[in-house]
Structure 1
Amino acid sequence: MTQTHSTKRRSANGVKALILVSALALTACTNPDRFGGSDAGAMGAGAGANGGIIAGSANDPTSVAYFNQTIGDRVLFLVDQSTLNDNGRAVLAQQAQWLLANPGYTAIIEGHADEQGTREYNLALGSRRAAAVQDYLISQGINPSRLKPITYGKERPIEVCSSEACYAQNRRAVTVLAAGAGVS
């Protein structure tokens, strides 16, 4: 009986500690003037001490974060297709401009498919999608030595699902940037 009472006491103490820690965490967030005034974050994420842009932030147009968030790192495809649509070409045109302006980066182009179909078929489809992106970027002036297409087929889905809206997100090609003068 003392063991049960001891277990209940530890459980109650644990709950009290959790409540105390939660309360402390919340009060730490309630005073925006505490660390330099209420406008301390007014310049936004990526702003430096003097309002400048921090290298590597999403506000730095030469950063991978900027490429991913502002330019866009992926294009989507229709079912069983590797042909680029107008939206895909628009995204890739912006990617090409960014890559031309930032020659210190290379790109791995990942081709993906949804989970419908066989593994072998989807690997081939992912390969065709990556090649379509590579071909478009080359047509926009990107040196082929800076691009490496690979396929994952259905092996790396964004979501595991059974709805068309979800499948559509898995039918994609993703441009993954790396710093360096060549893709090995």
Structure 2
Amino acid sequence: MKRTLALALLASGALALSACGQKRAPESLPPEPGPQAPVAANNGDYDANGNYIGPGSQADLRRTAGSDRVFFDFDSYGLDDTDRATLTRQASWLAQYPNVNVTIEGHADERGTRDYNLALGERRANAAKNFLASLGVATTRMSVVSYGKERPEALGSDEQSWAQNRRAVTMVIR
């Protein structure tokens, strides 16, 4: 019985190897690629990656309001005059698009514990949300999330990197 099984295995292995003969080059190659098919017009509403950039989009918010983010001093969630001006432009933009909702992301730099930075990020996001609400943006259109130090904008352990990471970002939800 063992001998028959061994012989069967040997025969099937030889058969499998013989089927893998040498590959030959094809007799003719496929034609050279021609010009690419024209891309359908999108009226400028999408970028090369397929992201919507038309009216009411994240790109439109950045373009119209000048920025989708505000920055904070170290260990602070207070808004300065520059932040209030940016948020005022964001509120004007949101007034133009009453069906657009946003999430305000709070971020912190790498210094401090994870829990502390999550709480600080939440206070920063709420500061931006409360200011937008004071300008007439319905709170039902805004949600808040804190990422603490988990999603840095800039990598590095220097003041320039930390300053970019202490922020609140208004993200359009579609």
Whether the TM-score (by the shorter chain) exceeds 0.5 is yes
Report what 2:129 is aligned to: 134
Q: 1:56, 1:64 within 8 Å by CA — same for their partners in 2?
A: no
Give the corresponding residue for 1:68: 62
Residue matched to 1:165: 160
1:54 is matched with which residue?
44
Distance of 2:57 and 2:76 partners within structure 1: 31
CA offsets, 1:95-121, max 9 Å, x none?
000101101110000000000011111
1:84 aligns with 2:79: yes
Q: 1:65: Cα distance to partner?
A: 1.2
The total of aligned residue pairs comes to 131
What are the superposed Cα offsets for residues 100-159 of structure 1, whole Å, 9 maximum, x if unpaired? 110111000000000001111101100100000010010000111000011010011012
Alignment check: 8 A CA contact 2:105 2:144 kept: yes
Residue 146 of structure 2 corresponds to residue 151 of structure 1: yes
In 1, Cα distance between the equivalents of 2:57 and 2:46? 5
- Cα displacement string for residues 65-107 of structure 1 (whole angstroms, at most 9, x for unaligned residues): 1212342110000000000011100000000001011011100
Counterpart CA distance in 2 for 1:74 and 1:175 is: 6
CA RMSD of aligned residues (A): 2.2
CA distance in 2, matches of 1:153, 1:145: 23
Report the TM-score, using the length of structure 2 for normalisation.
0.69
Residue in 1 that maps onto 2:110: 115
Q: Is the 8 A contact 2:56 2:100 kept in 1?
A: no
Contact 1:56–1:62, Cα closer than 8 Å, also in 2? no
Give the TM-score normalised by the residue count of structure 1: 0.65
CA distance in 2: counterparts of 1:177 and 1:140, whole angstroms = 18
Q: Which has the larger radius of gyration?
A: 2
Alignment partners' CA distance in 1, 2:93 and 2:81: 19
Give the gaps of 5 or more residues in structure 1: 1-47, 180-184
Verify: 1:105 aligned to 2:100, yes or no: yes
> What letter matches 1:68 in structure 2?
R
> Which residue of structure 1 aligns with residue 32 of structure 2?
none
Where structure 2 has 5 or more consecutive residues not aligned to the other structure, the ranges are 1-40
- Displacement of 1:59 after TM fit? 8.1
Runs of 4+ in 1 over 2 A off after TM superposition: 53-64
Structure 1 residues 102 and 56, CA, compared in 2 at 3 Å: closer, same or farther?
farther
Cα contact 2:101–2:141 (8 A) shared by 1:
yes
Q: Quick one: percent identity of the two aligned structures?
A: 46
